[in-house]
């Protein structure tokens, strides 16, 4: 949170300079409640139980997504019971900070939502705050959130496109591709040749091609969906640590289950080094097993989240200064970053698949000495 306020400080400085140069009008009047850039950005890059379409953040038009809770049985209801719930404000007597949360209504009346997290209310029907967070019990939340919805739509899109590509080949046999197949075939062949074949032993790579293709297209398509600012896109799915964690764990598991004698030998008893070094290398190599997928997880999460933050921050310049003239600066910059993000969307998918192939390749490599 801290560096976001720093960011807004720098932005304001830049804006001030530009205003001074006469690029835009001067309007710094801050009578009303100040526009909080970091809160807005964090709200956009995090998951939600609604899909906001247009209008103001509170009271605008949204799609209320289903809430599914596992709490002494399955409970399902619409998230509108929270978004149109009963706002509660609790003031902490010691620090003087007031906390705002929403108490559910109707079927959600046993629960409250605080920053998109669902908590069980205590006997008094309140949330108990300890510092900044409530310490009430939480039900297991399997809701179809914005990210889950985006995930389903992304998966549906990939299935529709790839099935139609597959249908072309099933119908026409081994001929020169046309239409969708013409567009996707070079990419599929690139994953097969430049990612799988280039990194994995020539006799074993074929087994891993479906996994690498799926992971590449999953990341690429969802990255692209994330760049669309309205309904089919807009969720920050591939910039969510949960999703990147899952993908990284998949690669870890594939690597571990493919590991041959040579691979485990290099981890537990490094050949070609003196015995004391063997003991020294072992913990390093064991940590190395986990740092590789960990880096995969962080890389995808950080790249995509950062892209969303930059675009939102650039758009915020207009709202921070409350002057449409700033659009002359903010829109071209946001456009530039968005175009860059199109490249990053592909690149991150490629990198994830490439590095996964590299790790798998190292795990199935035969000893050659």
Binding site for another protein (CB under 8 A): 42, 45-47, 68, 115, 117, 140-145, 147-148, 151-152, 155, 158-159, 162-163, 165-166, 169-170, 173-176, 181, 185, 188-189, 192, 209-211, 213-214, 217-218, 240-243, 245-247, 250, 301, 305
What is the helix (H) or strand (E) element at residue 105, kind and residue range?
A: none
Closer by beta carbon to another protein, 136 or else 330: 136
Closer by beta carbon to another protein, 152 or else 367: 152
Cβ contact 111:119 at 8 Å: yes
Closer by beta carbon to another protein, 111 or else 326: 111
Nearest distance from C-beta of residue 328 to another protein, angstroms: 32
Rounded Cα distance, 180 and 119, in Å: 47
Nearest distance from C-beta of residue 248 to another protein, angstroms: 11
Rounded Cα distance, 109 and 124, in Å: 12
Nearest distance from C-beta of residue 64 to another protein, angstroms: 16
**Residues facing 223 on adjacent strands:** none
Nearest distance from C-beta of residue 228 to another protein, angstroms: 19
- CB neighbourhood size of 169 (10 A): 13
Closer by beta carbon to another protein, 183 or else 280: 183
**Residues facing 289 on adjacent strands:** none
Nearest distance from C-beta of residue 215 to another protein, angstroms: 8
Rounded Cα distance, 193 and 58, in Å: 50
Rounded Cα distance, 126 and 102, in Å: 10
Nearest distance from C-beta of residue 55 to another protein, angstroms: 25
Closer by beta carbon to another protein, 18 or else 245: 245
Closer by beta carbon to another protein, 4 or else 269: 4
Report DSSP state, residue 366.
Answer: P
Closer by beta carbon to another protein, 5 or else 242: 242
Rounded Cα distance, 216 and 250, in Å: 13
**Residues facing 54 on adjacent strands:** 61
Give the sheet arrangement for strand 66-70, strand by strand. Answer: 74-78, 66-70, 140-141
Rounded Cα distance, 147 and 316, in Å: 23
What is the helix (H) or strand (E) element at residue 88, kind and residue range?
A: strand 86-91
Rounded Cα distance, 159 and 163, in Å: 6
Rounded Cα distance, 111 and 94, in Å: 26
Structure tokens belonging to residue 365: 């490599």
Rounded Cα distance, 353 and 205, in Å: 13
Rounded Cα distance, 42 and 39, in Å: 5
Closer by beta carbon to another protein, 144 or else 333: 144
Closer by beta carbon to another protein, 13 or else 100: 100
């Amino acid at each position: 949170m801290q560096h976001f306020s720093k960011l807004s400080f720098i932005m304001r400085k830049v804006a001030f300079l530009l205003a001074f140069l006469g690029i835009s009008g001067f309007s710094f009047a801050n009578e009303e409640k100040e526009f909080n850039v970091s809160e807005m950005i964090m709200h956009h890059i995090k998951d939600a139980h609604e899909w906001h379409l247009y209008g103001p953040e509170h009271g605008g038009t949204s799609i209320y997504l289903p809430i599914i809770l596992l709490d002494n049985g399955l409970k399902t209801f619409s998230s509108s019971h929270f978004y149109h719930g009963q706002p509660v404000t609790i003031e902490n007597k010691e620090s003087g900070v007031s906390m705002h949360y929403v108490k559910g209504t109707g079927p959600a009346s046993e629960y409250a939502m605080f920053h998109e997290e669902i908590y069980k209310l205590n006997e008094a029907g309140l949330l108990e705050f300890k510092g900044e967070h409530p310490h009430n019990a939480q039900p297991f939340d399997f809701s179809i959130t914005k990210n889950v919805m985006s995930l389903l739509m992304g998966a549906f899109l990939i299935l529709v496109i790839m099935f139609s590509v597959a249908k072309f080949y099933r119908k026409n046999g081994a001929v020169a591709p046309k239409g969708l197949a013409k567009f996707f075939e070079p990419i599929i062949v690139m994953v097969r040749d430049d990612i799988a074949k280039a990194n994995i032993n020539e006799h074993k790579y074929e087994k891993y091609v479906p996994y690498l293709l799926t992971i590449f297209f999953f990341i690429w398509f969802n990255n692209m969906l994330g760049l669309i600012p309205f309904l089919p896109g807009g969720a920050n799915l591939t910039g969510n640590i949960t999703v990147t964690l899952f993908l990284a764990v998949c690669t870890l598991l594939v690597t571990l289950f493919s590991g041959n004698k040579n691979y485990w030998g290099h981890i537990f008893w490094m050949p070609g080094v003196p015995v004391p070094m063997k003991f020294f290398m072992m913990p390093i190599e064991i940590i190395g097993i986990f740092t590789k997928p960990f880096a995969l997880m962080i890389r995808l999460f950080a790249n995509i989240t950062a892209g969303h933050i930059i675009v939102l921050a650039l758009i915020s310049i207009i709202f921070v200064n409350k002057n449409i003239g700033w659009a002359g600066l903010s829109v071209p910059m946001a456009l530039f970053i968005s175009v860059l993000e199109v490249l990053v969307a592909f690149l991150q998918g490629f990198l994830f698949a490439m590095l996964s192939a590299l790790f798998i390749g190292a795990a199935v490599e035969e000893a050659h000495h």
